[in-house]
A = this chain, B = another copy of it.
Amino acid sequence: MQEQTDPPGEPSPGLVSTAIQAITQHIRSEGLAPGDPLPSEAAMTRQLNVSRTVVREAFRSLSAMRLIDMSAGRRATVAKLDTGAMSMVIEHGITTQQISVQQVYDVRRTIEMRTVALAALRRTDQEAAAIARSARLMRENFTNPETVMEHDIAFHEAIAAASHNPVFSLIVTAFSGVTRRTWVIGWRTRSSDEDQLKMIKGHEDIADAILKGDPQLAAEHMAEHFDKSVKALIDAGIA
């Protein structure tokens, strides 16, 4: 019962790919927003004249990329922007040694010099407070590296959020996974407490500049921070 004509164009990249396209196309043409429900698997099965197996693999693929949310019993829904897929791509690049940690840091530096400047210009008072709080928590927990790291990551993500451009947030957050794997190494090379506190001071300087609304100054502090971080990684011998 093949009805779905398979014109000339497509040599047949597989039914699943076709189903994935049909679903994304559905989202587009219906103008669905995050939270809106998608057709059930059964409905899609009928519409595409393929087995539920195919439809399910398509849904599951979109779910893996976090374009849709799935949960048992409920129909799938359109998902809010999420960094899941991007993180996995970056991690894949790292673990298969197609990209290096330094290359990621170079990209981060480029992006975060911009996010920090935008944050200084556009942050709300609440956002400025959140950024400052992350910096403060880094200092207060500085004997516990794991905790410092989490606040460090939250610090950078908060700055990205304050840039009010979700694409920046998306990218910065995608890199957080890599950061979690290398952060401690950089921390250890900052052998003395003094070095470590100096690094935390750097974060406070950034937070202050954002609070003051000085994009130039904020960018300078951020650049300095990254230069030191990269140096720490190089000293530690990270390729």
Contacts and interface: CB of A to CB of B under 8 A. Distances in A.
A23 to B, nearest CB: 11
Contacts of A103: 165-167
A198 to B, nearest CB: 27
Contacts of A107: 111, 165, 167-168, 171
A79 to B, nearest CB: 8
A81 B97 CA distance: 10
Interface in A50-65: 53, 56-57, 60-65
A155 to B, nearest CB: 20
Task: Output the residue of A79, A106, A110 with the most chain B CB within 10 A.
Answer: A110
Interface residues of A, number: 50
Contacts of A78: 96
- Point out which of A16, A67, A92 has the most chain B C-beta atoms below 10 A from its C-beta: A92
B88 A92 contact: no
A114 interface: yes
A165 B95 CA distance: 16
A89 interface: yes
Contacts of A238: none
Contacts of A62: 64
A127 to B, nearest CB: 17
B171 A20 contact: no
B166 A99 contact: yes
Nearest to A166: B99
A171 B34 CA distance: 24
Interface of A: 16, 20, 24, 27-28, 32-34, 53, 56-57, 60-67, 78-82, 85-86, 88-93, 95-99, 103-104, 106-107, 110-111, 114, 165-168, 170-171
Given A33-B97, A81-B93, 11 more contacts: A16-B60, A33-B96, A34-B96, A65-B85, A65-B88, A67-B88, A67-B89, A80-B98, A103-B166, A107-B167, A171-B171
